[in-house]
Structure 1
């Protein structure tokens, strides 16, 4: 069977999405420059992995880009001109809204359908069925095809950049909360009152229990600190780009950057 689904970037997120598709009998191809690193994992997931762009693109109709947000525009600039009009390029890297607008313009110039997408949950847990926001000129039409693949899609607008902006706006809250927890524990550990403070908050915050949420967030922060820091950097840039002072988001970036440095020492 010819590959129909293509994944650009076979890191953690790319593997999760690809694995979800293959579990349901879909044929999936993936492209990654670190071919040798991921070949064994690709075989386990029954994914056809390539390190040659031309071979990868031959039998792919729908492409999902799951690369680091710092290179998402460069990847779009590299791949979109290579596509024919039958192919669809869907960006899922939580990039800058401005970058998504630029990528959309490149796609328009090449006669390619481009969709801005934002993953709004845990791709590790939900795989290809993770909630995803879409925006772009043909997002409503294309969402119908994606839903047939079992994807959990919500179209939020017809402009590229809206989906990415939605994810970054939500991150103003989520990443700020993570940074506040890092700071809180520094202080409570100094006074040896961590259990007292967390138990006190536990009685008044979160229906499922603040302590459980705090532990989940800290495990997630330590495991994914590089990605979380990169995302909040994007948040700060987006807020400043629209002329708003990014006090809390800038503070979150500073704290998470310090946490990242401490973890990598």
Structure 2
């Protein structure tokens, strides 16, 4: 009996920048036939170069658009005519859920299944093994094609935009945290105590536990009045140090909004405390 051979999947990668080239290289190393196109970057030797998006997509089982949110619509419009019946167009660009739904609409109008794929960690050093979330009609097919090649794809039971939403919600935390650390260390450098603050931040992050999020949320709401005043003072100090207080001012504004909303709720439930901030649990000085 002749040995059964497994058909090598053909995958098109549109966009051969840092992320696209790393993913394409891993796909080729794992045995896939990779067709690539990038108007600014020539395809490396292990990838079959194409003269455009439609040519790259021609005959592919899966098309991975890894260029940019700005170019995502143009790439889809230029390449959708080359997508064969049954193949999936997967958009891996970081974009809003609304844009992902718009891309899905364009794909559907051409009879092409679409997948919203969110890359959930930096690609350099991980390549194809970077964790991904996928949603939309083509999500299961993306996982079916990429997982045997070494990818880590979690399929969400939701429509296009769901994967993008989770990525961006996570970005609010991670990028916001990073920005706060950068701003605070810049101010500490100007104040002459950067080393002390760096050690303090490291200690706080090291002590984080499963209960940290609950404590942060509860404390922020409970002490929003006092903390708003504290962050107003912090923003003034940063300005005096010559550091634009972008994160400090944003924190002050959020805390002021929370304290105003809490005041309205409290006064509505107990009209006898109108105008009496000392009756509120988040009054200055109370912890």
2:198 aligned partner: 198
Q: Is the 8 A contact 1:117 1:132 kept in 2?
A: yes
2:229 aligned partner: none
For 2:179 and 2:203, locate their aligned partners in 1 and report how far apart those are by CA, in whole Å. Answer: 21
1:9 aligned partner: 15
For 2:138 and 2:65, locate their aligned partners in 1 and report how far apart those are by CA, in whole Å. Answer: 17
1:49 aligned partner: 49
For 1:207 and 1:49, locate their aligned partners in 2 and report how far apart those are by CA, in whole Å. Answer: 50
For 2:9 and 2:203, locate their aligned partners in 1 and report how far apart those are by CA, in whole Å. Answer: 52
Q: 1 or 2 for the larger relative contact order (CA 8 Å, sep ≥6)?
A: 1
For 2:189 and 2:198, locate their aligned partners in 1 and report how far apart those are by CA, in whole Å. Answer: 11
Query: What is the deviation of 1:3?
Result: 7.0
For 1:202 and 1:192, locate their aligned partners in 2 and report how far apart those are by CA, in whole Å. Answer: 18
Gaps of 5+ in 1: 209-246, 253-265
Q: Once structures 1 and 2 are overlaid, which stretch shifts more, 49-58 or 111-120?
A: 49-58
With over 3 angstroms needed to count, the CA separation of the structure-2 counterparts of 1:72 and 1:141, relative to structure 1, is closer
DSSP-derived class of the 1:204 partner:
helix
2:28 aligned partner: 22
For 2:106 and 2:11, locate their aligned partners in 1 and report how far apart those are by CA, in whole Å. Answer: 21
For 1:84 and 1:150, locate their aligned partners in 2 and report how far apart those are by CA, in whole Å. Answer: 24
2:115 aligned partner: 115
For 2:141 and 2:202, locate their aligned partners in 1 and report how far apart those are by CA, in whole Å. Answer: 45
DSSP-derived class of the 2:205 partner:
coil
2:39 to 19, 33, 41: 33
Q: Is the 8 A contact 2:118 2:134 kept in 1?
A: yes
Query: What is the deviation of 1:127?
Result: 0.8
What TM-score do the two structures reach when normalised by structure 1? 0.71
Gaps of 5+ in 2: 1-6, 209-245, 252-287
For 2:8 and 2:53, locate their aligned partners in 1 and report how far apart those are by CA, in whole Å. Answer: 16
Query: What is the deviation of 1:54?
Result: 4.3
Query: What is the deviation of 1:199?
Result: 1.2
Query: What is the deviation of 1:184?
Result: 0.8
Q: Is the 8 A contact 2:62 2:142 kept in 1?
A: no
With over 3 angstroms needed to count, the CA separation of the structure-2 counterparts of 1:129 and 1:163, relative to structure 1, is same
Q: Is the 8 A contact 1:3 1:29 kept in 2?
A: no
DSSP-derived class of the 2:100 partner:
helix
Q: Is the 8 A contact 1:130 1:151 kept in 2?
A: yes
With over 3 angstroms needed to count, the CA separation of the structure-2 counterparts of 1:93 and 1:80, relative to structure 1, is same
For 2:27 and 2:76, locate their aligned partners in 1 and report how far apart those are by CA, in whole Å. Answer: 23
Query: What is the deviation of 1:207?
Result: 5.8
With over 3 angstroms needed to count, the CA separation of the structure-2 counterparts of 1:207 and 1:31, relative to structure 1, is farther
- The equivalences for 1:1-265 within 5 A come to 4-35=10-41, 38-39=42-43, 42-43=44-45, 46-206=46-206
